[in-house]
Amino acid sequence: MEKQLLKQMIDRFETSTFTVNRILHACIRELMPENLTADQHSILRYIRERGLCTSSELADFFFVGKSSITAIVKRLADKNLIQRILDDKDRRVIYLSLTAEGAELVETMQEKIAELLTKFINHFDEQEAHTFIETYEKLARILIEEEGGKGRE
């Protein structure tokens, strides 16, 4: 691709990505219960998708230090949204899973977020929506491959 065109594409991408992220994050924050942060919600979603995980796995996936994850996990456990489960074979390993209350909260939030996103996706016709999602998924795959991924999906 020609250098000038590439620069224009990059500028357009950065501008639109910033706008989309800023507005969507603000909209999603408004949907969150008062006692839940966006980071906490992301961790709850990750645990729901995995079933069980460790704090180290969370730190690796979210690119944060283990001390940050420890603080978030403690808050989520104090709110009875996650539970710690000792490994039967190695007592040093502690798994995290959602409590029933945590699972219910994640499900409720996912329904609210789906409702919000539906409002925006409905502005695309079916082919545009498919093309957009396929292109966005391709970008996600490239980022995972180029940045080493380590299972970050």
pLDDT in tens, 131-144: 999 999 999 999 88
Multiple choice CATH, 36-122, 1.10.10.10, 3.50.50.60, 1.20.120.720, 1.10.1200.10: 1.10.10.10
Chain centroid to CA 49: how far?
10
Q: What is the pTM of this model?
A: 0.82
CA distance 137 to 131: 10
In the chain, the percentage of residues whose pLDDT exceeds 70 is 96
- Where are the domains positioned within the chain? 1-31, 36-122
Among 72, 79, 83, 84, residue whose Cα is nearest residue 40: 72
What are the tokens at 4?
């000038």
Task: Please report where in the chains the tokens 């299972």 appear, as a residue.
Answer: 151
CA distance 112 to 92: 37
pLDDT at 116 over 90: yes
Three-state DSSP class for residue 94: strand
pLDDT at 89 over 90: no
Give residue 148's pLDDT: 62
